[in-house]
Amino acid sequence: MLRYVTTNSGKVREAREYLDDGSVTQLEFDYAEVQAPTLEPIAARGAREAYRHADEPVLVDDAGLFVDGLDGFPGPYSAYVEETLGTERVGELARGTDTTPRDEADEATGPARAAFRCVLAYCDGDPFDASPDPVDRGDRAAAAAADDENGAAGGLPVKLFEGVVRGRIVEPRGDGGFGYDPIFEHDGTTLAEMNAEEKNAISHRGRALAKFAEWYATR
């Protein structure tokens, strides 16, 4: 049994749609999100903590919206920013970075460009060929100390899978999906205008899940 670690039911819906084998169940566990400029160390630390908690194979899903014109903001802070500013405000800020005339807009070079990223971190307590530890080398001692406080399991192997989708930020459209989906447009359609299957076919999460599923099938 694989536990998909998240408090967000929208993520689980998409993971089930993709992995489609009934062997994935949600583990609503709120792991401590360390402060980091990238998603990888947050997901890796979360997977170790969730595995220690569940004692079963776990897959942690950490995602974020990275707006080019805002130097990648809100990035790893996307959940906090959604709760505080809200998606419409983030949309306004992102579109405020738009200096390109509308008719020159295109996804690759046009206005309000952004990327959605998803990092999946897998841990089952067994040794395997893990991804290189994404914890910042300079901060290794602090990271080890923090792990010790939490139960001395910093060395658990973790495998990471990343998926990215590029698009641009638009006025909200659509009522499907969740989170920032209504303001994120890919190829003329917002993620909220797609059903789960359509979103998975192009999304950050779908791409990360595809990589994970291919590797997991060999376990």
Which residues carry out catalysis? Answer: 62
Site string for ligand ITT, 63-102 (x = CB under 6 A): xx-------------xx--x--------------------
Stretch that binds ligand ITT, among 1-9, 107-115, 122-130, 138-146 (CB under 6 A): 1-9
In our burial notation (b when 16+ CB lie closer than 10 A, e otherwise), range 45-55 reads: bbbbbbbbeee
Site string for ligand ITT, 181-200 (x = CB under 6 A): x---------x---------
**At its nearest, how many Å lie between ligand ITT and the CB of residue 20?**
18
41 binds ligand ITT (CB under 6 A): no
Residue showing the smallest CB distance to ligand ITT in the complex: 179
DSSP at 62: E
Q: Are 165 and 185 in contact (CB under 8 A)?
A: no
Residue 174's φ and ψ, nearest 5 degrees, are 95, 155
Secondary structure tally for the chain: helices H, strands E: 7, 7
The pair of three-digit structure tokens given for residue 25, joined into one six-digit string: 């169940």
Closest CA to 115 of 203, 30, 47: 203
Q: Which of residues 10-39 bind ligand ITT (CB under 6 A)?
A: 11
Using CB under 6 A as the criterion, which residues of the chain lie in contact with ligand ITT when the complex forms?
6-8, 11, 61-64, 78-79, 82, 177-181, 191, 203, 205
